[in-house]
Amino acid sequence: MLDLVSVQISPPNSVPSVNQPLDLVCLGAPAADPSQQVNQVVWYKDGQKVTLRENMQLLQNNLTIHFDSPLPSDTGFYMCEMYEPTPQQTRVFSLGYLLSFAAWNVSISGPDTVSPGRLCKFTCLTSCTLNVDCTVRWQFRQGFPIGSYFSVHENEFRWTPSIPGTSQNFTCVAENAAVGRSAEATKLVEVIGIPLSGSQGVQKNELPAMIVSLGLLLLFDL
């Protein structure tokens, strides 16, 4: 039985380039019985069966799509589907490969300066489609943000700082681990001004707040 099927570029780790030949290969674990062979492979692009064009060929019993000269219109999310030669004709779908010739653009929206005690919001903006082409994670490489409130939901985080005269570096990483692609952006935010009324009390109780916040570290990579 096929344990894992994936689509990979060939040669491995090469960077797709317009007008340069490339192959997409449907790779699968061998069947437990060596005498069994996968008898059918179907290719999909963006959820639709691939229609061969003049610059494309199917090779190695359809396990490989060869592009003589890729074009921007060939950009898309490719998957292969294998059928095992069993009476039930078991279908196995692969992990996908995002064929793209453009670098991802990543930026972080939100203020460059913030005030103690005021809730602020930051959003990671990407040119890749969130949860389709890429996923987003936040990194805090110079320390976890100190404040009375902090929350993260996918590409957005909210933070209420509490100590004036400090700064924080936030990094947003967009990635697709399956195809080995990533891009990132970093934003420096300064905490200026004086604490708002009542926020001095927050500072006195900051250690418990930090302990609660540190519980969120399991969600992020430092």
DSSP string, 101-151: SSPPPEEEES-SEE-TT--EEEEEEESSPBTTTBEEEEE-TT-PPPEEEEE
CA–CA distance, 42 with 63 (Å, rounded to integer): 9
Is there a common fold for 5-99 and 106-219?
Answer: yes
CA–CA distance, 72 with 20 (Å, rounded to integer): 12
pTM of structure: 0.54
Map out the domains of the chain as residue ranges.
5-99, 106-219
Give mean pLDDT in consecutive 10-residue pieces for the chain, a chain of 222 residues: 75 75 81 53 92 91 90 87 71 82 87 95 91 88 89 93 92 82 91 65 41 42 49
- For residue 98 the two structure tokens come to 């995002």
CATH 2.60.40.10 for the 106-219 domain, yes or no: yes
DSSP code string of 50-81? ----TTEEEETTTTEEEESS--GGG-EEEEEE
**Residue range 205-217, pLDDT digits in tens:** 444 344 334 444 4
Q: Considering the domain 5-99, what is its CATH architecture?
A: Sandwich (2.60)
